[in-house]
Amino acid sequence: MFNPFRFFATGKDLPEIQDKNVVDNMYKKYRLKVMLAITVGYGLAYPLRLALNVVKKPLIDNGIFTAMGFIGVFSYIGAGLQDQISGFLIDSNSTAIDGVLTYNFNPVIIYWIGSSIISMILAATLWRVKVRD
């Protein structure tokens, strides 16, 4: 029987890393990357949120905020799908080599670049659209 949710299943469980040095090296390797990602993410999100708060009142007064609601809903849906698909691609392309988990990010990178190109094409098709009265 076909199960569509199997697409999102994780891969097989890998053995626990017993070597403390390997765990310490992995922690040191990813600690800076995680902190930089959090800092850059917050550094981008905060000013964008502030900018939306500044223009919210004129948007509500002109009746444009309903469109912002649709855009927001679809943005959350898109972010959720992107998160699930990326997680699946990352989990399904990992292998254990000598007890160390190794990831192949090539499929995820192709997915991210393809999604970015599609988003730019879709946005470029709207640049001449006029607002209807």
Across 34-48, 62-76, 97-111, 118-132, least confident range:
62-76
Tokens describing residue 32 = 């800076």
**Residue 85: partners with Cβ closer than 8 Å, 6 or more residues away:** 111
The residue that leads in pLDDT, 21 or 11, is: 21
Does pLDDT of 78 surpass 80?
A: yes
What backbone phi and psi angles, to 5 degrees, belong to 17? -80, 115
- DSSP track, 78-100: HHHHHHHHHHHHHHHTEEEETTE
d(CA 54, CA 25): 45
Whole-model pTM?
Answer: 0.45
